[in-house]
Each structure stands twice: as C-alpha cells, then as structure tokens.
Amino acid sequence: MDSGFMARLARRHKHVVLHRLWVCAQFRERFTVREHLHLGHCKECRSAFDACLAAENFGQVLKELSRQKSRHSDPESSIES
C-alpha cells in the first residue's frame, strides 16, 4: 500500500476512545491497524495515550487530560512571565 493512502485512512479515522487507549496502555491490548495509524497522525490521541501510560488508574488519566485542556484553553498560560 502506498503511504498516501495510509495517511488518508489515518486522518479519516475518528479519534480513539479514551477507554480503548486505557485498555491498550494498561493491559497490553493491541491497537487495530486503523487505531495505530491514527495515533501516528493525531497529537490529541497520542497525548491521551501518553497520559494512560503514565497513570496508575483511570481517574489520574481524567485529571491529567482536564489539566492539559485547561492549560491549552487558558489565554494566560501562553504568556511568558
């Protein structure tokens, strides 16, 4: 398969749901080909997967993602002091 086709397939795939990322991170479940390709192209899903890898429980994942979201949406967070 050509790489252009694979990139289009990855972009077309919807985000990987958070509980799926958690299962793959914690229980060594394998991603489908589409999920794997999507993770290669989607910064948001990769960030969520990284949070899943680092967390000891799902609550920690939710806290971290909430923290990341508020940091990115806070206009003052981008202003350097």
Q: State pLDDT tens for residues 34-46.
A: 899 899 989 999 9
User: Greatest CA span in the chain, whole angstroms?
Assistant: 49
pLDDT(76) > 70: no
Report if residue 67 sits inside a domain: yes
Token pair belonging to 57: 């429980």
Say whether 63 sits in a helix, a strand or coil: helix
CB of 22 closer than 8 Å to CB of 61: yes
Least confident of 6-10, 28-32, 57-61, 77-81: 77-81
CA–CA separation, 46 and 10 (whole Å):
13
Region 22-28 average pLDDT: 94
Report if residue 81 sits inside a domain: no
Rounded to an integer, what is the distance from CA 24 to the centroid of its chain? 12
Report if residue 30 sits inside a domain: yes
Report if residue 14 sits inside a domain: yes
Report if residue 50 sits inside a domain: yes
Q: State pLDDT tens for residues 8-22.
A: 665 666 899 999 999
Q: How many domains does the chain have?
A: 1
Report if residue 20 sits inside a domain: yes
Model's pTM, two decimal places?
0.73
Report if residue 71 sits inside a domain: yes
Report if residue 53 sits inside a domain: yes
CA–CA separation, 44 and 65 (whole Å):
10
Q: Which domain holds residue 42?
A: 3-76
